[in-house]
Structure 1
Amino acid sequence: MNIAAAANEDMASISNVLIYSAMAVYTLAFLAHITEWVFGSRSKVGRTAAALTQHAVTAPPAAVTVTATRKAGGTTVMERAEVTTRSATGSRDVPDGPGAAAGDEKGELYGRIAISLTVVAFLVHLGGVVARTLSVQRAPWGNMYEFSTTFSLVAVGGYLLFFVLGKNIRWIGLPLVTSVLLDLGLAVTVLFTDSDQLVPALHSYWLWIHVSCAIISGAMFYLGALATVLYLFRDRYETKLASPQGKQPGPAASSILGRLPAAASLDKFAYRINAVIFPLWTFTIIAGAIWAEAAWGRYWGWDPKETWSFITWVAYACYLHARATAGWKGRKAAYLVLIAFACFIFNYYGVNMFITGLHSYAGV
């Protein structure tokens, strides 16, 4: 065994340890997020608000303010909570974060701890991807294991970037961290591949350009899909609140869904992400075609990966076109964008695992 090979194996081992360590810290962040929601739901104001808004909200106002009292050292203290239903027409986005509508100080503390742990996990995760890069001396996304670990890294990085830009989207933290744990768990078990070099056709600078753009696009589409799923739950909750008759949401639904941003804000958030990232996905397909001409002598050959990339592009184009021209908003647009993201997921998992094509280089 030569020195270079030993160094490669050492860096690969460090990468594996760092990925497992990141999973451990993500688990702590997951528990902190759970604790945040539990403490928030125990807030006296939160319980009062959830109970009263089931009966008080019969029209679509921007918000309902609820007041409750508690005893503190023999003194009566007034607590106020604003329970947002739908954002007013033409208004700015409603406050984000679980504490925006009936959290408490302890719940807010655990929320900040969850974000801090997510930052630590992201840095450890980044170290694992960089170590994998050093072990193979190439772009760290030559197979499904490497793509998965980098994909989840970029998704978390995009999530944290919103905080840097002053956007508090902590409400997406729990489903994001949960799915990242699932993604990494699948990567280190089913998809794991030892560090190795790639076939000659993949030794190109286009590997850095084309695949990195695909990862960034997919990660941001994923954040948009998470926001869309939350929108569907929140919209149904608001519809029940606004209905004077019929079934009202239960206490559990009010405790959780009542502390999300308004459905209109979730819908707008998802649309903005998809609209901003769509041009990058377009460039991803164009870059892939250019690379295909250099590697295989043709720009487009309807390879399964090419075909499903194009289907994904068409699906997102239909969604954006419907929003811009037909005025599609709300649930119809949400279903369409989830179909588009499902096409992206199938293009990654389904095509790679079950369909053989020119992109089938490294198995998983």
Structure 2
Amino acid sequence: MAGTGSATTLGTLLRELTADPTAVEEVVTAARGNSPEIARLPPAEVRRQVVALLTCGLTALERQDDPGERDFAEARRLGADRAAQGVSVAGLLRGVQAGRNRAVELVVRHGRTAGIPDDVLVEGLLTIGRYAAALERAVVDGHRHAERDLARAGHDARTRLLRRLLIGPEPVERAAEELGRFGLRAEGPYHCLVAEGGDPVRAHALTRRLSRYGAVLGTVEGRLAGLTPRLPPADRLDEGVLVVAAPAGPLDRAPVMYALCVAALRAAARRGRHGLHQVTELAGETALAAQPALAELLGATLPAGLDPGDEFHRELASTALTWLDHGQRLDRAASALHVHPNTVRYRLRRLRELTGFPPVVETPGGWPVLETVRWWWALRTWLERG
């Protein structure tokens, strides 16, 4: 960048950096790399923050007014959102400050390349620094106000109650008074639900959405979990979130339902599932996942004639799984694999020659259920661990 040494040139530089995806990504990487809590946020969310901070610096340089006269409502909202998402003020500031330091390095490096004199760079960065400090104070202020509001709303007490109800054992009659405080009735019934963790932004949005249906939610063993009198339609939830719910039942059954939901959540996550699922829908995967030693034994014995390093062998196993998943129908499996039914028939025959895979039954009913489960489990395990 060619420069004249003026503040306008520095403003142009900041404007270009703010619009430069590579520069923004460097700042994002610094922020996420220095704060594990920020790293758990979606990169797009952090990127939005970075652009907002760079834009703030640009505005500060152009306006040259007193930071005390600025409205930092957006920064306060940012702090409040992070508090609600469970990000600590220390974790938030580590990310903000690391990103700011990286942005300063970029300004200095590109400024010198553009020919901007050091004294102009220093003066501009001092101006930006005053605004950055005021912005950070606003972030902290918003975070602390939100924490106090959450505490007044009974956030901590609600979470403690949920942990006692879901992990147990907590006699429901002993917690009757507390239940009423949070809109629950000892006589129930309630759905227990558990959501996949790791994304505080989505967890916060999910909490707000489920609360509209009477859900009482909190963080239990690192996951969003809770009780709700009714479930929302599946299409009303973020399709990128995995939620597992149990059928409605009495509160004294909540620990059992919670344990089942957690097991089903793990099984569904391993399969890459998303959306809202009933624990009963995931019964097969959950039951099989609870027997890893038996899965290992099946995966090592039934497909023993296959070589994990041979792509053709992996294709045979995958084809057989698809055939089993599609009701042992050659036409449906062929359609799913985008091949001719005769290709499916050939691959299953080759698999039988190599492993003793049972013969294809082309009459209604197919294999016995237990034989189907045995081979489905064995092939799935072999493919996953091969």
Q: TM-score range by the shorter chain?
A: under 0.3
Normalised by the size of structure 2, how large is the TM-score?
0.24
Say which structure, 1 or 2, has more relative contact order (CA 8 Å, 6+ apart): 1
Normalised by the size of structure 1, how large is the TM-score?
0.25
